[in-house]
Amino acid sequence: MNRKKLQKAVKKADEEYAYDMDFYHFHQARRTMWSFAYSFHEATQEERIYHLQEANEQLQKILEPAPVEDYDAIPYEELLERYNFIQTRRDEVNKLFGDRRRRPYTFKECVVINCNRVKATITESYESMKKRIRKNNNEQN
């Protein structure tokens, strides 16, 4: 593979990796805030500070400026080594994300997901109420 193609492939892989890591840290910060949103009003000042600092750490990782690389100055051997390391980094990203997708959901997907969650919640509540009614009826008889 010639140097220009190698440079282009490594640069593209570096940009994709940087985006994926930014998205991962954003997702972690969002998850921290989302999980804390329901108990915020009950939390003590220390708990609020702790959760906000946790989210802030993830956001700070996104805000850190990435070092600017001059791909023309990198020796060919190092470019080749980094090229061979691309799949390892992709596997690392996939491991971090697990089953979650790397792209944001579309509006339609969000609606479907939320409808499924509501349906599951209602079904669980309904089943729970049926059990309580049966239990009360059995106790009364």
pLDDT digits (tens, 9 = 90+) for 40-77: 888 888 988 998 899 899 889 888 877 778 888 889 99
- Residues 19-45: tens digit of each pLDDT: 888 888 888 888 888 888 778 888 888
* Nearest partner of 129 among 118, 121, 141, judged by Cα: 121
Length of the chain: 141
Q: How far apart are CA 89 and CA 69, in angstroms?
A: 18
- In a 10 Å sphere around its CB, with 0-12 CB exposed, 13-18 middle and 19+ buried, how is residue 10 labelled? buried
Q: How far apart are CA 49 and CA 13, in angstroms?
A: 37
Q: Where are the domains of the chain?
A: 3-102, 105-141
**CA dihedral sign of residues 47, 30, 10, 91:** positive
Question: What is the reported pTM?
Answer: 0.61
